[in-house]
Amino acid sequence: MKRVLIAGGGFGGFYAARRLERLAPEDVRITLINDVNFMLYTPLLPGAAAGSLEPRHVVVPLRERLERTELRLGWVIGGDPANSKLEVELIAGHTIQFDYHQLVVALGSVSRTFPIPGLAAHAIGFKTIAEAIALRNRLVRFLETAEEIDEPERRRPYLNFVFVGAGYAGLEGVAELQDFALDALAYYPRCREVGTRWILVDAAPRIMPQIQPQLARFTEDVLRRRGIEIMLETQLTEVTDESVTLTSGETIPCRTVCWTAGVKASPVAERLGLPLEQGRIACDERMRVRGHHNVWAIGDVAAIPDPARPGEPCPPTAQHAIRQGKLIAGNVAAALGDPRRDVRPFAYKTRGMFADLGRHNAVANVLGGRLKGFPAWALCRFYHLAWVPGIRRKIRLIADWTVDFWFRRDTAELGQLGHPPGLEEHMPPSAETGDGLASARALIDRPGG
Ligand SMILES: Cc1cc2nc3c(=O)[nH]c(=O)nc-3n(C[C@H](O)[C@H](O)[C@H](O)COP(=O)(O)OP(=O)(O)OC[C@H]3O[C@@H](n4cnc5c(N)ncnc54)[C@H](O)[C@@H]3O)c2cc1C
């Protein structure tokens, strides 16, 4: 039996598997390897971070949506393309060499960081559901902490938030979280006295290079009017657990730095024995990895020539990954010998983009036209509803958005979720040692807390 192996079950890998289920003959086995059993719908991540969407509603369980694909949970750790093998460490703990006739690599990207002192130790990314929820929990926990502090000046670092990177992740993240904080402040009178401060920093001279300058200016105005400070042509020089220093020389007391300044291809790409182009897997316009007849790559991990910008690779966006995933299914079917299919080049050009600014406001560049304010926000919601796979998920999103429209957001801090205490940790705190308190604090400080 021939096997098509898909490494990575995000936008690219999921859509490739779905389309292949229809196109590949019955005697072809489709295997998808992913490190988690869901696909994260990243454009909805800011909503999950701000508590307007239930975290489980912004992910798509792979087993629910895939019918004949065999899902294997594990981590791709290496490859031997000369012998058509991929090395995977399965979650059960053992390592397997998977054989394949055709391989599609769709392992996505990771946050790209720079050697800024203290950045890796103190900043948090905004690419995974764990990071989004940790960010929200940290915000609530810091409101609680600041509320306990008597001196207003000492409350400051807990109430200042710095986002780095003014692309859609940073922009939507800062807008949604500030919105949530303003809601939450109603319950924190001492924090209200000091107020929160929100700062968006970017090294570039403008925000959102992906949209037209006029829309970018409109977005900037909306955010500034809301009290978000935007510092352009500015970089970080140092991060500590209590402050951030900028190239302008300013030091901002701050305990939350969210890093969204760009992505780079998954580092696993370097271990697959495939040619690379600036860290991404080098592909031709048909998405075939250069020099390998049975290996393909798509999405953020792949450098596929961009039909819209000759000489440049496709930008790392979900729009591109989805279209590449769908197209590659046909190309793989053709490579498997389906006489009705050709191996076709990737020809998609971006038709538009949205940035949701929260509070019923958004900007959109659609089919060459510009839209802003409520119409853009409504269109943005419809667009995501159309793309999120599965009717049940769509209904859940509509329910979440409806509740969010009418009610204040929840301020419960559930950092302990997924980290239950050991039985011995249920013991009451001892008066002498304060052990109970220490274990409670340890729980809160765990990752994801
Ligand atoms: C907050 C945020 C908002 C965004 N908003 C938009 C937007 O509005 N519009 C847009 O077009 N794009 C948006 N993007 C970009 C978009 O998410 C990416 O371009 C898209 O996810 C790329 O798809 P992919 O299939 O290449 O990778 P992914 O969707 O990241 O999928 C990669 C998969 O591989 C898995 N994986 C990684 N390494 C391994 C391994 N070693 N072993 C096994 N599995 C592994 C991952 O868990 C993941 O499931 C946004 C990104 C972020 C972070």
3-state secondary structure of 164: strand
pLDDT of residue 208 exceeding 90, the answer is no
pLDDT per residue as tens digits for the range 82-123: 999 999 999 999 999 999 999 999 999 999 989 999 999 999
Q: From the CA of 38, give the closest atom in ligand 1.
A: 49
Q: What token pair was written down for 336?
A: 């498997």
Mean pLDDT to the nearest integer, 27-50:
96
The CA distance from 330 to 341, in Å, is 6
Which stretch of 44-53, 83-92, 412-421 has the lowest confidence by average pLDDT?
A: 412-421
Burial zone of 447 (CB within 10 Å; 0-12 exposed, 13-18 middle, 19+ buried): exposed
Q: What is the pLDDT of residue 448?
A: 43
pLDDT of residue 424 exceeding 80, the answer is no
pLDDT per residue as tens digits for the range 281-329: 999 999 999 999 999 999 999 999 999 989 999 999 999 999 999 999 9
Q: What is the pLDDT of residue 409?
A: 83
Q: What is the pLDDT of residue 429?
A: 64
For residue 316, the CA-to-ligand 1 centroid distance in Å is 9
Q: What token pair was written down for 16?
A: 């490739």
| CB 335, CB 294: distance < 8 Å | yes
Could you tell me which of 138, 190, 189 has the C-alpha nearest to residue 162?
138
pLDDT of residue 248 exceeding 50, the answer is yes
| CB 247, CB 237: distance < 8 Å | yes
Q: Measured between alpha carbons, how far is residue 220 from residues 110, 211, 223, 234, 379 in Å?
A: 27, 12, 5, 16, 20
Nearest CA to ligand 1 atom 35: 8
Q: From the CA of 325, give the closest atom in ligand 1.
A: 25
Q: Pocket residues for ligand 1 (CB within 6 Å)?
A: 8-13, 33-36, 42-43, 45, 75-76, 106-108, 126-127, 168-169, 266, 268, 299-301, 316-319, 321
Q: What token pair was written down for 181?
A: 């904080």
Q: What token pair was written down for 411?
A: 């301020």
Percent of the chain clearing pLDDT 90 (strictly above)? 78
With cut-offs at 50, 70 and 90, classify the pLDDT of residue 443: very low
Query: Hey, which residues does 288 pair with through a beta bridge?
Result: 296
Which stretch of 12-16, 244-248, 270-274, 365-369 has the lowest confidence by average pLDDT?
A: 365-369
With cut-offs at 50, 70 and 90, classify the pLDDT of residue 449: very low
Q: Please count the other Cβ atoms lying within 10 Å of the Cβ belonging to residue 422.
A: 8
With cut-offs at 50, 70 and 90, classify the pLDDT of residue 447: very low
Mean pLDDT of the chain: 91
End-to-end Cα separation, the chain, in angstroms:
46
Q: What is the pLDDT of residue 428?
A: 67
Nearest CA to ligand 1 atom 5: 43
| CB 45, CB 23: distance < 8 Å | no
pLDDT of residue 418 exceeding 90, the answer is no
What does DSSP say about strands 102-105 and 295-297: parallel, antiparallel, or unpaired?
parallel
Q: Measured between alpha carbons, how far is residue 122 from residues 118, 176, 242, 279, 360 in Å?
A: 6, 22, 9, 25, 32
pLDDT of residue 224 exceeding 80, the answer is yes
Percent of the chain clearing pLDDT 70 (strictly above)? 95
For residue 108, the CA-to-ligand 1 centroid distance in Å is 5
pLDDT of residue 414 exceeding 90, the answer is no
For residue 8, the CA-to-ligand 1 centroid distance in Å is 9
Q: What token pair was written down for 19?
A: 């389309």
Which stretch of 47-56, 97-106, 234-243, 347-356 has the lowest confidence by average pLDDT?
A: 347-356
Mean pLDDT to the nearest integer, 419-441:
63
pLDDT of residue 237 exceeding 80, the answer is yes
| CB 19, CB 330: distance < 8 Å | yes
For residue 163, the CA-to-ligand 1 centroid distance in Å is 20
The CA distance from 61 to 59, in Å, is 6
Q: From the CA of 77, give the closest atom in ligand 1.
A: 41
Q: Choose which residue among 107, 319, 354 to substitute to test ligand 1 binding: the one with the highest number of ligand atoms within 8 A of its C-beta.
A: 107
Q: Give the global pTM.
A: 0.92
Nearest CA to ligand 1 atom 1: 169
Q: Choose which residue among 33, 168, 219, 324 to substitute to test ligand 1 binding: the one with the highest number of ligand atoms within 8 A of its C-beta.
A: 168
Residues near 322 by beta carbon (within 8 Å), at least 6 away in sequence: 11, 12, 15, 387
Q: Measured between alpha carbons, how far is residue 19 from residues 16, 24, 68, 93 in Å?
A: 5, 9, 11, 31
Q: What is the pLDDT of residue 70?
A: 98
For residue 9, the CA-to-ligand 1 centroid distance in Å is 9
Residues near 179 by beta carbon (within 8 Å), at least 6 away in sequence: 50, 358, 359
For residue 41, the CA-to-ligand 1 centroid distance in Å is 8
What does DSSP say about strands 123-125 and 295-297: parallel, antiparallel, or unpaired?
unpaired
3-state secondary structure of 392: helix
Q: What is the pLDDT of residue 201?
A: 97
pLDDT of residue 149 exceeding 70, the answer is yes
pLDDT of residue 279 exceeding 60, the answer is yes
